[in-house]
Amino acid sequence: MTITVLFGAGADLWQDYHAALDAAFAGAGLDVDLGMEADPATVEYIVYAPGSPLTDFTPYTRCKAVLNLWAGVERITGNPTLTQPLCRMVDPAMTESMVEWVTAHVLRLHLGIDAHILGQDGIWRHEPSSPVKIARERPVAILGFGELGQACGRALMALGFPVTGWSRSPTELAGARCLSGAGALDAALSGAEAVVLLLPSTPETANILNARTLALLAPGAFVINPGRGPLIDDAALLSALDRGQVAQATLDVFRTEPLPPDHPFWAHPKVTVTPHIAATTRPVTASRVIAENVRRGEAGEPFLHLVDRKRGY
């Protein structure tokens, strides 16, 4: 039986995903009719991305699942017309990419690399009496210890960084200090010299880094946010940077994207802005995840990476 899959992620992404999805469906042994248009009453799965023209899921009465191409689902979970199961993306290549981005920025800040590669002025600043710390002297807290947080934790521990991971429910990762629940947030942040945010954006995680929680970090700590913009109280971060409580921040995500040209983050000497590029979904690997979920749906097996609408992620 041919399975009808609607590509509802928009025309721009169709160029990138059409061939990759066809190949992934064939590789999974699925006979799929994939297109950007279909009679809603015949659609069995929808490949989706936030911001696409598709906003009303009501006519898709036979749809078994909506399969999101992105990891973050905060722009979808509030849609009252979306009653079908919703799966978020866990793409192994995207995870690798996030590990590389986080590791690069932790190492960059840890080693103070900017001081040597920016603004070279012919002055030989060799100060053997004050060597930089080594990784095992620099505790890192990772808020959000799920797919991405744990992968980054493993890589940072392999380099020697002591890692504390914080999640909602208890979790374990060999070698890491794993804390969970709202009551353990302060312990996770206290004394951390770097904090990496890999939480989803939900009402519970909004402004999780604020004036109070930033003050728990070790003085001169680093803030690295590849999670979502609303996790940080921007004004509190700017104040902490100006006072030296936070030495530097590297931010990939923002409350408003693109980050407006007049936002103080752009001009702040202690802030690095990157344009939401920490980890993007890769068509070939992501299409295999989509195909596996369609296969599971057809075989009556549970979907991978099902979103809990009540939790919001």
Size of site (CB under 6 A) for ligand NAP: 32
Rounded to a whole number of angstroms, the minimum distance from the CB of residue 81 to ligand NAP is 22
For ligand NAP, the binding residues in 220-279 under the rule CB under 6 A are 226-228, 252-253, 276, 278-279
* Residue closer to ligand NAP, measured from CB, 139 or 200: 200
Residue 198 binds ligand NAP (CB under 6 A): yes
Q: How far is the CB of 111 from ligand NAP (least distance, A)?
A: 23
Cα distance between residue 141 and residue 121, in whole Å? 35
Q: Is 276 a catalytic residue?
A: yes
Catalytic residue flag (residue 105): no
Considering only 48, 60, 145, 161, the residue that binds ligand NAP (CB under 6 A) is 145
Q: Using CB under 6 A as the criterion, what x/- string covers residues 46-85 for binding ligand NAP?
A: -------------------------xx-------------
Token pair in block for residue 234: 């921007």
Which member of 18, 177, 255, 276 is catalytic?
276
Catalytic pick from 110, 138, 228, 288?
228
For residues 5 and 142, which CB has a smaller minimum distance to ligand NAP in the complex? Answer: 142
Among 6, 82, 199, 290, indicate the residue that binds ligand NAP (CB under 6 A): 199
- The type of residue at 267 is A
* Per CB under 6 A, 147 contacts ligand NAP: yes
Residues in the site for ligand NAP, rule: CB under 6 A? Answer: 71-72, 90, 94, 98, 144-149, 166-169, 171, 198-202, 204-205, 226-228, 252-253, 276, 278-279, 313
Active site residues: 228, 276
